[in-house]
Structure 1
Amino acid sequence: MINLEEISFQLISNVGEAKSLLFQALRDAREEKFEEAEAKVSTAESSMLKAHEVHFSLIQQEASGDKVQIPLLLMHAEDQLMTTETLKNIVKEMILMNKKFSK
């Protein structure tokens, strides 16, 4: 049995790190520090990958027939995961726009 509280906090921790890095990347792009911005996005993507791996362990558990009861903390963690995934895509586009308009 997987400890849902531990998984929830792993998700929140990894996603929180990614979200922070993405906002830093956005500030870097605004200041035309594009290499730094892209490095932060890359590090954020690594944190997101860790979060997705943890999340996938729940999917594997459910697929093996072991039903997962969804507590509010896990629901919050999944919400943070998905909104940060969206944020990542928006930040990547905004970096590209900043690059285009800085020329």
Structure 2
Amino acid sequence: MDEDKRMQVIMGLIMAGGNAKGSSVAAIQAAKQGDFAAAEKQLTAADQALTQAHNVQTEMLTKEAQGEKTPVDLYLVHAQDHLMTAIAFKDLAQEFVEVYQRMAVK
């Protein structure tokens, strides 16, 4: 993979992570206001962004398994870190939405 393509892939991972985290924050804010339909939409958007990133990672892993080495540099490390943080944040956002839903019933 040439350097321009590699950087596009890395920036795509960073953007997907940022989009997922942003949607997760929006889900928590919507749930806090009692708008659970909006919260679910935001969680779905977060899932879609994470699925997109997962597909990119799967492609990278497949190429690695086929012998095409991926240079690991600070950009790739940052992209992976950003993505893992977004995954954890989305999982926590799901929990927050559920807690707010339970609180709304009581």
Shorter-normalised TM-score: what interval?
over 0.9
TM value normalised by structure 1: 0.94
**Partner residue, 2:97:** 95
Distance 2:66 2:20 in 1: 30
> Residues 36-75 of structure 1 correspond to what in structure 2 (within 5 A)?
36-75=38-77
The Cα offsets for residues 43-62 of structure 1, whole Å up to 9 and x where unpaired, read as 11111111111111110111
Contact 1:37–1:95 (Cα < 8 Å) also in 2:
yes
| Letter of the 1:20 counterpart | G
TM superposition shift of 1:4: 2.0
**Partner residue, 1:12:** 14
CA RMSD of aligned residues (A): 1.1
| Letter of the 1:51 counterpart | A
Contact 1:22–1:44 (Cα < 8 Å) also in 2:
yes
Q: Secondary structure at the match of 1:14?
A: helix
**Partner residue, 1:26:** 28
**Corresponding residue pairs, total:** 103
What percent of counterpart residues are identical? 28
Distance 1:17 1:87 in 2: 12
Distance 2:6 2:74 in 1: 11
Q: Secondary structure at the match of 1:66?
A: coil
The Cα offsets for residues 25-79 of structure 1, whole Å up to 9 and x where unpaired, read as 1000111111100111001111111111111111011100122111111110001
Segments of 5+ residues of structure 2 without an aligned counterpart are: none
| Letter of the 2:45 counterpart | T
